[in-house]
Amino acid sequence: MNPYLDISTEVQEALAAGKPVVALESTIISHGMPYPQNVETALNVERIIRENGAMPATIAIIKGRLKAGLSADEIEYLGRKGYDVTKASRRDLPVLVAKGEDGATTVATTMIIAAMAGIKVFATGGVGGVHRGAEVTMDISADLEELAQTPVLVVCAGAKSILDLGLTLEYLETKGVPVIGYGTDELPAFYTRKSGFGVDYRLDTPEEVAAAFRAKLTMELKGGMLVTNPIPEEYSMDPDIINKAIDDAVAEANAKGIKGKQTTPFLLAKIKDITGGDSLASNIRLVYNNAKLAAQIAARL
């Protein structure tokens, strides 16, 4: 057992009994939306996973401890603390643990801690990827490298549409990460169902997805699997409106010199402002949709 890892009692019991468990990230709590909406959303996501037959395991770093499974009080703590919590990727783990500090886990860090705990399925909103202009800035999310090496299945609504989706897919192909379209031949673009880019394979049921990932694990192939689940039609945003908002937000970020780990939170907040809050409402609904699918896959895995 990792000496820095704490697995909650109910998650431990579920894992020991071979019951399905779904990991959840905590960046969405501290950096994804304002309090108290962040806490309400996190608790709703956990409820949806339970209703679909799995055990939720929200993941974070609290006072230097790697946590797999948070209490309601711990979720409230992260939600209230908000941006004062470090947005923690792989590089941040050693220092946060050594100094006994808090960290909200990104996709990459959630995958790492989930794998330590023995959790194979993870639900999130959207994954990071290759940022626009990366051929100059080299701004590529650590999420992609984690997908290449850590054996966790990630359910998302596609890559965030603030990214260069074509280059993100090329990177994943180079790293050998299967990109699955759940009920779709086209990569979803987070706020919208279509991007113009194809996926590697279309699978239409939780059973098919679970079987593919089970085969990957059995063959001991390195890395995870990315399952892209389109936002429900009724919550999908108009592509022209959201793409214009994204272009405006990216231009402002470049003008202000915003770089690195601050880029995504800035862009998402700016897009929320430009769209009058519509993007946040869509974000919440796609997370709920992903939680449901992840629980169904985990139950069959």
Active site residue 160: yes
Tokens of 116: 């330590």
Q: List Cβ<8 Å contacts ≥24 apart for 15-20.
A: 15/117, 15/118, 15/119, 19/54, 19/55, 20/53, 20/54, 20/55, 20/121, 20/295, 20/298, 20/299, 20/301
Q: Of 160, 261, 270, 272, which is the active-site residue? A: 160
Angle between the 263-274 and 278-300 helix axes, to the nearest 10 degrees? 120
Query: Tokens 């993100």 appear where?
Result: 168
Whether the CB-CB separation of 293 and 123 falls below 8 Å is answered with yes
Whether the CB-CB separation of 49 and 55 falls below 8 Å is answered with yes
With a CB cutoff of 8 Å and minimum separation 6, the contacts of 39 are 29, 75, 76, 79, 80
Active site residue 272: no
Give me the active site residues, please: 25, 160
